[in-house]
Structure 1
Amino acid sequence: MPKYIANEYLLHNGKVVQAGGQLELEAKQAERLGDKVTPAPEEKEPEKEQEPVKEEKPKKETKAKKESK
Structure 2
Amino acid sequence: MDISYYDFKNLPNQDQCNFVINQGRVMNERISDTLKYVLYEVSYFSVEIIYNTANNKIEGMNVFQIKSAYAN
Higher strand share goes to which structure?
Answer: 2
The normalised TM-score by structure 1 is 0.24
TM-score (normalised: structure 2): 0.23
More helix by share: 2
